[in-house]
């Protein structure tokens, strides 16, 4: 079998960081907590000290066995993702402490230069704080298999659109404590479905999943688009405009249909202006969704501020879904009149669903 070409993730999954603090775990003699930005990672006691340099791997990193063979349980074989053997990092709880991610030490040369060893060629690469080493270590971003991919893929995601993906709040510690405490925010529920985009661009129109444009040959994405006359409504509401509505498709066969819908439902969370190559402000996005007779994602608050601390933000993400009596996946924050955004995933949801 031919090896699969490595594809670098669209965001940094493995970075060089400073350990901000080391905290004890009550009743634990062999482990402690390392704090990296907004993340907390359980580590062996004494393995790291405050202000030491380390490689931080974010949850949902798929780490090759050549980098961290110990992640595979004894007596088990490693998993395989896109042709690479390894393991996916999940949120776990050890001795009552939530742990998110993995820390590995950075090597030091004889003249005290920090470095890591590449995969698979084992070349020494000098590093400094903030470096993205995902490609060097061949780290992938794990994603759930995409529904309906094999039957109706037309091509790659269109170049004139953007994929939606907010940064996790734990990676925004400095920004969160300053810039992100300012301004007004739209707070919406993060839905557990499948990303869907519908666009009109001149004489063409199309429907996309998260990574692909799809043929109009059936399947949940196009069936939903046709059933709700989404493209026709977009052109009627805004004739001559080139834009896309992006949102979450939920329903039978998607992520276990947690909301128990009898049919597919599409919830808009963004509107992208193709000509301007930027997202509409959130009040504008809500108006576009209404004009096109589309549902908008459940809004928790409009014109809101953010909680005073990151920990309060993470705790606020826990809650009941607005669509069903189940725990919600989390919250998404978007600046009402800017381009800034971030997401806060519920730790309770992660522990139950991963």
pLDDT in tens, 225-247: 999 999 999 999 999 999 999 99
Tens-digit pLDDT profile for residues 171-196: 887 667 666 777 899 999 999 999 99
Q: By percentage, how much of the chain surpasses pLDDT 90?
A: 73
Distance CA 274, CA 205 (A): 12
Nearest to 146 by CA among 161, 157, 159: 157
Q: Are 300 and 186 in contact (CB under 8 A)?
A: no
Report the pLDDT averaged over residues 9-34: 94
For residue 292, what are its two tokens?
A: 């096109």
For the chain, give the mean pLDDT.
91
Tens-digit pLDDT profile for residues 70-116: 999 999 999 999 889 999 999 999 999 999 999 999 998 888 889 88
Q: Please tell me the predicted confidence (pLDDT) of residue 119.
A: 67
Q: Please tell me the predicted confidence (pLDDT) of residue 5.
A: 65
Q: Whole-prediction pTM value?
A: 0.86
Q: Are 235 and 269 in contact (CB under 8 A)?
A: no
Distance CA 18, CA 173 (A): 13
- Residue 120 banded pLDDT, cuts 50, 70, 90: low
pLDDT at residue 300 above 70?
A: yes
Q: Are 71 and 63 in contact (CB under 8 A)?
A: yes
Tens-digit pLDDT profile for residues 22-54: 999 999 999 999 999 999 999 999 999 999 999
Residue 99 or 153, more confident: 99
Q: How far apart are the first and last CA of the chain?
A: 30
DSSP at 50: T
pLDDT at residue 147 above 70?
A: no
Q: By percentage, how much of the chain surpasses pLDDT 70?
A: 94
């Amino acid at each position: 079998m031919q090896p699969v070409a490595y594809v670098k993730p669209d965001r940094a999954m493995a970075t060089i960081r400073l350990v901000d603090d080391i905290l004890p775990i009550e009743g634990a003699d062999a482990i402690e907590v390392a704090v990296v930005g907004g993340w907390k990672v359980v580590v062996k006691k004494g393995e790291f000290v405050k202000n030491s340099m380390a490689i931080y791997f974010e949850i949902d990193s798929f780490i090759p066995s050549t980098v961290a063979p110990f992640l595979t349980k004894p007596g088990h074989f490693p998993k395989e993702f896109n042709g690479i053997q390894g393991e996916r990092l999940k949120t776990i709880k050890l001795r009552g402490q939530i742990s998110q991610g993995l820390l590995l030490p950075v090597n030091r040369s004889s003249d005290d230069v920090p470095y890591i060893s590449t995969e698979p060629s084992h070349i020494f690469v000098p590093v400094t704080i903030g470096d993205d080493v995902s490609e060097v270590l061949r780290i992938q971003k794990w994603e759930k298999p995409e529904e309906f991919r094999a039957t109706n893929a037309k091509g790659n995601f269109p170049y004139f659109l953007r994929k939606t993906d907010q940064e996790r709040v734990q990676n925004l510690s400095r920004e969160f404590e300053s810039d992100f405490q300012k301004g007004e925010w739209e707070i919406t529920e993060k839905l557990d479905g499948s990303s869907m985009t519908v666009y009109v661009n001149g004489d063409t129109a199309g429907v996309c999943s998260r990574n692909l444009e799809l043929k109009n040959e059936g399947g949940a994405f196009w069936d939903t688009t046709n059933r709700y006359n989404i493209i026709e409504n977009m052109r009627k509401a805004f004739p001559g405009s080139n834009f896309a509505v992006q949102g979450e498709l939920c329903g039978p066969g998607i992520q276990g249909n947690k909301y128990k819908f009898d049919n597919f439902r599409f919830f808009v969370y963004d509107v992208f202006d193709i000509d301007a190559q930027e997202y509409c402000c959130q009040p504008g996005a809500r108006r576009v969704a209404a004009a096109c007779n589309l549902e908008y994602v459940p809004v928790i608050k409009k014109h809101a501020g953010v909680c005073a601390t990151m920990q309060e933000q993470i705790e606020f993400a826990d809650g009941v879904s607005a669509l069903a009596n189940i725990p919600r996946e989390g919250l998404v924050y978007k600046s009402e009149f800017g381009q800034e955004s971030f997401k806060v995933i519920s730790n309770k949801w992660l522990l139950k669903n991963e």
